[in-house]
A and B are shown apart, each in its own frame.
Chain A
């Protein structure tokens, strides 16, 4: 145990750099996922069959083929096929973004559909342009619905980042694995790793709760401060299950 702590302190710069890589992959991956979620989610609501069809095909493809295959394909197969090579971190960001973007687009689609029909009709009656209608009426209401599901997705994405270890990006898992193999303290090393991921996940949940509160406030829905500390709800977990 003492041995473990001293090695951990020795290797602290690497561990900190690894933590940073993990955070970077999570943040960039989820930003790409968010962008793709809205792109394909809004495309799914289009009147044009072609636009809807493209969105469905892309979403089903990335949901259906498993994240691990996509990641390995980008890392191992793409250089073989095209001669282009992405850095491991970029491979991770692109794979996480595409995969979770596909799941996220279902969240966007569902939330937009759940805005009451009368809101559309009122916006049409007020002669709003489709863009205006989306931006001022539909999305602010749908956004509140989306946040709990997005929180779930974000945690899922964070939980996939140890995969970076397999494609030799120097992430947190890589760094802690290194300390483990130097000291042989298996239990301590993995418990530490799990604890760090738990803290990261909880921090993300708290941030998303703040976001949810401010989004609700803008709609004039007031929530008590008690909701800020809770973790996820049964409803949200079931939605993620259903979205798959």
Chain B
């Protein structure tokens, strides 16, 4: 029985440690899902929490500025537009382009813009191009840029 008591003690210690790690991990990284309109209505005190907001990329709004990428997203059927500034280190996904559904994680800034540290994007057709061969959207930077060579 003594063996089992020792064993139980060890198990409890391990599980306890992991539960504590998990709980603090959740607190550190928990991110609320908000729509653009919900985000705009957040009271001042709550605006500092981490938020994940989803919307469609407004065509032509993607602008690069050195390390930062500016773009706008809009919720289907809603008038509000959210200005997003991406400051993360990961390269943007290839599926991120005009009209794509983008998922931005970050925090709302005092000036009403959204600072995102990570961006995930879904193709408008969710990886399956629309039947009929109609091009879904223009590429990221519009027409082919002039050659430098």
Q: Do the two chains bind?
A: no
Q: Which residues of A contact B (CB under 8 A)?
A: none
